[in-house]
Chain A
Amino acid sequence: AQSVSQHNHHVILSEAASLELGCNYSYGGTVNLFWYVQYPGQHLQLLLKYFSGDPLVKGIKGFEAEFIKSKFSFNLRKPSVQWSDTAEYFCAVTLGYGQNFVFGPGTRLSVLP
């Protein structure tokens, strides 16, 4: 069965530091990839997604992610984090249309002012 792993359980950064959150999946076929964010007290929101084409995907709030097929990875990046980026981040994979999502365990990001 496919699975998704996220490298870090909890990341603590100072404002203006660069961010990279790792995500790896275990399926060799065509996948759709997503990053979701859950801010404290709010529901899950989509940050960005990759279906096909340019492997470097830009999302909302200055986030981007790069799909590296050979490494089965879809890492999330942001060059300079803000305190408001404090949230939990989930990587997710689906095999395509009509297929259910598989989520990673999540990475909690704490940004110190």
Chain B
Amino acid sequence: SQTIHQWPATLVQPVGSPLSLECTVEGTSNPNLYWYRQAAGRGLQLLFYSVGIGQISSEVPQNLSASRPQDRQFILSSKKLLLSDSGFYLCAWDGGQGAPEAFFGQGTRLTVV
């Protein structure tokens, strides 16, 4: 069966520090991968999505970047965190053709102090 791993579960980082959140998917190949942010009172916001290795699309210009070094690995990064980067970050995948529903990781609660 397919599973998705996302870590860490919680993270407290000072302003100006770097960020790296990792997400890996097991049990499937060539998934579409997504990074979402869930800010308080604002619902889910799509940050990045990827349809293949090295292919990243950004939905919102911001302080964050994403990379997909391997087929089932998706990384969310920042060189210098801002207070406004605080939120709940979710990784998700879907199988593209044949399996259009999305499956979500457990999420990372990021607090920038």
Interface set of A (CB-CB < 8 Å, partner B)? 9, 32, 34, 43-44, 46, 49, 51, 90, 92, 94, 96-106
Contact = CB atoms under 8 A, between A and B. Distances in A.
Interface of B: 32, 34, 36, 41-44, 46, 49, 51, 90, 92, 94, 96-98, 100-102, 104-107
A102 to B, nearest CB: 7
Chief secondary structure at chain A's binding surface: loop
B101 A34 contact: yes
A37 B104 CA distance: 11
Given A34-B101, A43-B106, A43-B107, A97 B96 contact: yes
Contacts of A90: 43-44
A101 B102 contact: yes
B71 to A, nearest CB: 15
A103 B98 CA distance: 20
Contacts of B42: 105
Contacts of B49: 100
22 contacts: A32-B101, A34-B102, A43-B90, A43-B104, A44-B90, A44-B92, A44-B104, A51-B100, A94-B100, A96-B100, A97-B96, A97-B98, A97-B100, A98-B51, A100-B49, A101-B34, A101-B46, A101-B92, A101-B94, A101-B102, A103-B44, A106-B44
